[in-house]
Amino acid sequence: MLVRILAVPALAVLAGCGHSDDSKIVGSWQWRGCDDAGDVTYSADHTFTTKEWPVTYTHQPPILYDTGQWHLRGGRLIMDFKGDSHAAKHSEFLLAFFDRDTFVIRTAEGKVNSFERVK
C-alpha cells in the first residue's frame, strides 16, 4: 500500500517533467538563416505546420509548406514531415532553450538555427 501511495506522486512528477519541455515549445516561432528563413507552429497535440522561403535567389519554389508530427526526446527535437518539401521525412535536431522566447537547434550537418517566439 505504501509503495502505491509513493508511486503515484512520483509518476506525476515524472510526467510533469516531460510535459514541461513540450509546453515550452508549443506556439509559433520564426527563424532566419543566411540562405533561408521560415516559421513553424508547434501544437500541443504534437503536430506542426511550417513554411520556408529562400533569402537568396534559388531555383526552389518561393515558399515551401509542410506539416507533420513532433516530439522531444533526450534533448532532441524530432520532426516527421508528411509533405514532399523535405527530402528527409524524419529529422532529429539537438535542442537548447535559452529562455521562454528563444531556442536553438543544430542539424546533423552542424547547421545552427535560432528560433524566436512570435508574439
Say how many domains are in the chain.
1
108: CATH: 2.40.128.360
Residues in a beta bridge with 82: none
Range of the domain at 84: 2-117
Cell of 110: 552542424
Q: What is the pLDDT of residues 11-51, one digit of tens each?
A: 333 344 445 689 999 999 999 887 889 999 999 999 999 99
Q: Nearest to residue 75, comparing CAs of 59, 97, 108, 45?
A: 97
- Check residues 108 and 69 and name the one with the higher pLDDT: 69
The Cα 87–Cα 109 span in angstroms is 15
pTM for this entry: 0.76
% of the chain surpassing 70 pLDDT: 80
Q: What is the DSSP string of 85-99?
A: S-S-SEEEEEEEEEE
Cβ neighbours for 108, distance < 8 A, ≥ 6 positions apart: 92
Chain-centre distance of CA 41, in angstroms? 9
pLDDT class for 10, splitting at 50, 70, 90? Answer: very low
